[in-house]
Amino acid sequence: MRHDLIRILEIQLYSMQTNRRNWIKQLGLATAGLGAGKLTALAEPTGFLREIQGAGLPIKLSSNENPYGPSPLARRAMAERINVSNRYDWDIATRLIETLAVKNNVRKDNILVAAGSTEVLDLILRYAASQQGNFVLAYPTYSYWSDPVVRMGLERKVVPLTKDKKMDLPAMLKAINGETKFVYVCNPNNPTGTVCDKDELLRFVNEASKQTLVIVDEAYIDYTTQPSLVSESVQNKNLVVVKTFSKIYGLAGARIGYMIAHSRTMEKIASLQSWNNGSVAVVSAAAAMASLSDTKFVSDTYHQNEKVKQYTMDQLKQLNIECIPSSTNFLYFSLDKYKYDFFKRLKDNQISGTYIYEDEGSWTRITIGTLTEMKQFIAAIR
Ligand SMILES: Cc1ncc(COP(=O)(O)O)c(C=O)c1O
């Protein structure tokens, strides 16, 4: 099986070398200059992917990826970098940081880039959790990072969301005490898709940061119309903002994320790494820079996601499934009134979803894929 796969890849690589036009098509570069139809074409697996996966492609609606990405410009930038991946490129991270500094209107020493925001979070937590104590987070929220922190000996203080599935910022503030080493805010929140009110969040950050480090994870902020907290973070030594290229920029597999913080705070956090900004692959850094310049792709993705999300919400409503309004590329809904075995339906139709986050109400999450994928999802659960 493994040999068959390698053989397919070898054949494909050979034909890629001998047919550049075909190769360009397979990379999806021929669709530069987008629109909803062409954006959807970018989501289609081409060439050897189709050969490997066959006709019954699994539908991945589990990890909140951008189904249309990487952008055509990012694909081109990655392809161009493959041939120089044998070399360290000491400057490329610097160039990426310069680009990010301009985009976020901050200084270069306010930024650190890493292999995904997962690495960024790990690094911040190594810094924040170096002394024993506790940390505060909501439930449910994005929390894979929290298990290692508990293993490091810190107590996890969990604050339930409000009834409308929003972060309960006053309760989180109350949970902070003299032993709290940091508080984590995911805005918008994964898995619920809810966003904090900007003024309320600012008030929270002002108060909480007097007592502890505040980490604001903005993985999905580009799916909202809400401004980022980056300008506040460079003024406030106790506020760190975490960002990723994995979501609207469509580079989840390229593994690239970054943080923005006050230069003093950044200095302390960066001192825990042996090679700052060194874990970002040359190919990924090139992709990130190209995708920042592809504003058309980002805006097309945003609008297409809104359209397909609305379709999915309408369909779920018709199925009597209660859904939380979402400011992201995923939906959180209750299976309380759903009569069938939801997860079996997904499995039978080769669709990957998630799991039950909250037993009370049986709440689960689904990523917004392409319109075709969401039609298949609705057909599967109908
Ligand atoms: C809120 C949030 N933060 C961080 C991440 C990690 O993203 P990555 O490591 O791909 O940048 C995710 C991934 O789903 C997420 O949902």
Nearest atom in ligand 1 to 220's CA: 1
Amino acid at 225: T
**From 123, 185, 190, 354, mutation site for ligand 1 pocket: most ligand atoms within 8 A of C-beta:** 190
**pLDDT tens by residue, 116-142:** 999 999 999 999 998 899 999 999 999
pLDDT of residue 292: 97
pLDDT in tens, 19-52: 555 555 555 555 544 566 778 877 866 555 555 4
Minimal CA–CA distance to 16: which of 51, 44, 57? 51
- Position 27 scores a pLDDT of 55
Q: What is the pLDDT of residue 25?
A: 54
Q: Is 193 in the pocket of ligand 1 (CB under 6 A)?
A: no
- Whole-number Å distance, alpha carbon 340 to ligand 1 midpoint, is 31
Residue ranges of the chain whose pLDDT lies below 70: 1-36, 44-57
Which atom of ligand 1 lies nearest, measured to the CA of 118? 9
Cα–Cα distance, 92 to 94 (Å, whole number)? 5
pLDDT at 40: 80
Indicate whether residue 117 lines ligand 1 (CB < 6 A): yes
Residue 4: predicted pLDDT: 43
- How far, in Å, from the CA of 204 to the mean position of ligand 1? 23
Q: What is the pLDDT of residue 323?
A: 94
Q: How far is the CA of 367 from the centre of ligand 1 (A)?
A: 13
Tokens of 283: 């190919």
Question: Which of 140, 138, 65, 68 has the alpha carbon at shortest distance from 355?
Answer: 140
* Residue 329 beta carbon below 6 angstroms from any ligand 1 atom: no
pLDDT at res. 69: 87
> Residue whose CA is closest, atom 12 of ligand 1?
219
d(CA 273, CA 6): 36
Q: Is the CB of 326 under 6 A from ligand 1?
A: no
d(CA 133, CA 122): 17
How distant, in Å, are the alpha carbons of 96, 126, 162, 252, 276 from that of 280? Answer: 10, 19, 38, 13, 10
Residue type, 324: I
Confidence (pLDDT) at 37: 73
Our answer on whether the CB atom of 300 is closer than 6 Å to any ligand 1 atom is no
Q: What's the first-to-final CA gap in the chain, in angstroms?
A: 35
d(CA 378, CA 366): 11
- Going by alpha carbons, the residue nearest to atom 2 of ligand 1 is 219
Amino acid occupying residue 367 = T
Q: How far is CA 194 from the centre of its chain?
A: 15
**Cβ proximity of 290 and 73 under 8 Å:** yes
